[in-house]
Amino acid sequence: MKKLLKISSGFAAFALLFLAACHSASDKIVSFIPGTYVHAAKGEYSQAEDTLVITLVSGKAYNIQRRVGFRPIRDGKLLPKRWKVQSLNGNYDPQRQVLFETSNGRAFSFDPVKGVLLVNSAVYRKL
């Protein structure tokens, strides 16, 4: 009986430590989310600079301003820069530790240690 009690209390202590660690990681991500993130890409047909400005609205709700400047490439020549601006909304899921954009469900994941935001295969660096 004493052995069972020791195992039960050991398991309970482990479970509490695990939950505390998960909560701590989520807190780090939540405090990291607001800010400005940049990404640049170049392809055969264009080059682009993408900026995301994420602000907390309230609770788990965020506003995501996306500004994309892109220059089409035609016949090997760069054409004038064009701009596209979007205002998006997102909700943070603390269990998955991901910010989901509400209009199309795109997932934004964060790595505070590396200072980056990941969207699909794109890596945005936090300024």
Residue 84 maps to which CATH number? 2.40.128
Environment class of residue 80 by beta-carbon count within 10 Å: exposed (0-12), middle (13-18) or buried (19+)? exposed
Which pTM was predicted?
0.78
Q: What is the domain range of residue 109?
A: 2-126
Residue range 84-94: average pLDDT? Answer: 98
Confidence band of 67 (pLDDT split at 50, 70, 90)? very high
Our measurement of the distance from residue 31's CA atom to the centroid of its chain's CA atoms, rounded to an integer in Å, reads 12
pLDDT digits (tens, 9 = 90+) for 15-25: 444 444 445 66
Q: How many angstroms separate the Cα of 115 from the Cα of each of 3, 75, 78, 81?
A: 46, 37, 31, 28
What average pLDDT does this structure show over 112-119? Answer: 98
Q: Region 14-40: what's the mean pLDDT? A: 75
Number of domains making up the chain: 1
Instruction: Express as a percent the part of the chain with pLDDT over 90.
Output: 79
